[in-house]
Structure 1
Amino acid sequence: MEDVFNTTILCNNCNQATKKSYINKDGFKIRTMQCDSCKKEWYHPGDMQDYENFSRLRNKCFQVKLRYVGNSYAISIPREIIQFEEEMQREINEMIQMSLESPERVSITFSKKIKHILK
């Protein structure tokens, strides 16, 4: 299906052609169309939906179990987080890094290597 943001969009206020741009919101690249004359901005609906899903998960607190496996401790990552990560990054390799920030705090970071550059 063709993306509506691949066409020329006219501003409904001043009838001028809009320009493609993007904003970075909490690490998300959200595509926008902006009118140069009146500065009105439209966000890509698909990108906004992805950002809203991320915001909903980010604001949710998960209770996980700590297990002892061999000589290491293991935690179970909730399925919602993994499904979100897989949905957002189907064409990106995933690596998970874990670090001990303090005696009571473990940090898990999802980092990615981009296979190809998205336009």
Structure 2
Amino acid sequence: MRADSLVTFTFADVNPITEQTYARSVFAELPGYAADVVTGTLALEPGEWDVLVADDEAFDFTGATTPYPIPGATRRPFAHAEGFYVVVPSEQMATRESPEDIIEVIG
């Protein structure tokens, strides 16, 4: 794998915020890059996403292995070891705001 190759994630990957998969993370727990896929690419409202997570149906919309890009993320080589690590811009890690009227969708 090259350091300059596109950095992607799948919804089967582990969410670093929750230590669950992205597909098992409610909208408020998603890092920005995953939340942007939900609202942009998948055209779902945060509340719709939360219902899919609660019903364990998120993979029906995302695909388990479909790769989604992480804008601005880069791979950098380890200084004293083989391989690479991923650097994600902080604005892409920050969670996105959920409208107050949808936060209580899952009760």
Task: Tell me, yes or no, whether TM beats 0.5.
Answer: no
From the two aligned structures, give the one with the greater strand fraction: 1
Greater relative contact order structure (CA < 8 Å, 6+ sep): 2
> What TM-score, normalized to structure 1?
0.28
Larger radius of gyration: 1
The structure whose residues are more often helix, as a share, is: 2
